[in-house]
């Protein structure tokens, strides 16, 4: 089952990897030696390893946090937020749908995303002191919890799981559009940035749940990429995909806490 995350979906159609060039079967012991070997094995085989993914993901988050801290300390305005946000969106689309992974563009995306998050987080922190630290703790806890559940086998990715998750995302998007239209129309009372208070809370809770479950799909796809012998440079794509989902999770938790504290 191909991941619904379009970032990882590019790998499934790529014919550039080792697995695509060599159809010779590999014995189970050989595979076990390859996938349990240290990170240096990727230099010998040209294949992506879990250490490659961890290293690239950690590096991208270091860039994101660094630029975010800079934007926070400089107290940049809303103009920087929108410029960085739209530039990051454009680069995100390029990185997602490009057949060839380009590390400089992935790094640039992380930097721009960090700028946008830094400004946005500062706005939330000004309105709700302490909310950013709460959202960060919540994001780390959710990430760790989902990873432990996935590694222990308590959560398994099946075709039904994927279909249900995609259906839930469609419903989430529809509710989001209805909420925004209602907010702009100003019909009734209780409308805020996310529409009716009750609907906004429902969307926030649903967003946190969906982002968490999408992490499961991302973990599963990373494992499949490694097992399929994806080329080492694809670890940049894996790190990018994980970063996109984690940022989504952080924003949803930030939104949920702000609604709870506002109410």
Q: Could you give phi then psi for residue 117, rounded to 5 degrees?
A: -65, -35
Question: What does the radius of gyration of the chain's CA atoms come to, in whole angstroms?
Answer: 20
Q: Please give the Cα distance from 93 to 64 (Å, whole number).
A: 18
Q: How high is the pLDDT of residue 74? A: 87
Q: Please give the Cα distance from 101 to 234 (Å, whole number).
A: 7
Q: Maximum CA pair distance of the chain?
A: 66
Which segments of the chain are extended strands (E)? 191-192, 195-196
Q: How high is the pLDDT of residue 190? A: 40
Give the pLDDT confidence of 53-80 residue by residue, as tens digits: 999 999 999 999 999 999 998 888 788 8
Residue ranges of the chain with pLDDT lower than 70? 1-45, 178-199, 263
Q: Do the Cβ atoms of 261 and 132 come closer than 8 Å?
A: no
Domain ranges of the chain: 6-262
């Amino acid at each position: 089952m191909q991941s619904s995350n379009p970032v990882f979906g590019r790998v499934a159609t790529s014919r550039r990897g080792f697995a695509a060039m060599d159809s010779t079967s590999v014995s189970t012991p050989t595979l076990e030696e390859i996938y349990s070997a240290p990170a240096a094995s990727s230099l010998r085989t040209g294949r992506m390893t879990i250490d490659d993914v961890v290293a690239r993901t950690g590096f991208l988050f270091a860039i994101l946090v660094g630029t975010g801290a800079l934007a926070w300390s400089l107290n940049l305005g809303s103009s920087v937020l929108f410029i960085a946000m739209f530039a990051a969106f454009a680069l995100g689309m390029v990185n997602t749908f490009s057949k060839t992974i380009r590390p400089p563009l992935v790094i640039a995306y992380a930097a721009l995303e960090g700028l946008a998050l830094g400004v946005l987080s500062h706005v939330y922190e000004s309105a709700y002191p302490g909310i950013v630290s709460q959202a960060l703790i919540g994001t780390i806890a959710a990430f760790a919890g989902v990873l432990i559940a996935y590694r222990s086998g308590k959560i398994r990715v099946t075709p039904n799981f994927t279909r249900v998750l995609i259906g839930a995302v469609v419903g989430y998007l529809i509710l989001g559009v209805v909420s925004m239209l209602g907010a702009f129309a100003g019909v009734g009372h209780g409308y805020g940035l996310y529409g009716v208070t009750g609907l906004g809370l429902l969307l926030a809770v649903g967003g946190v749940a969906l982002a968490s479950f999408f992490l499961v799909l991302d973990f599963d796809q990373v494992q499949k990429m490694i097992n399929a012998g994806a080329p080492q440079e694809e670890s940049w794509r894996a790190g990018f995909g994980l970063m996109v989902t984690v940022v989504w999770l952080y924003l949803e938790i930030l939104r949920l806490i702000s609604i709870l504290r506002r109410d």
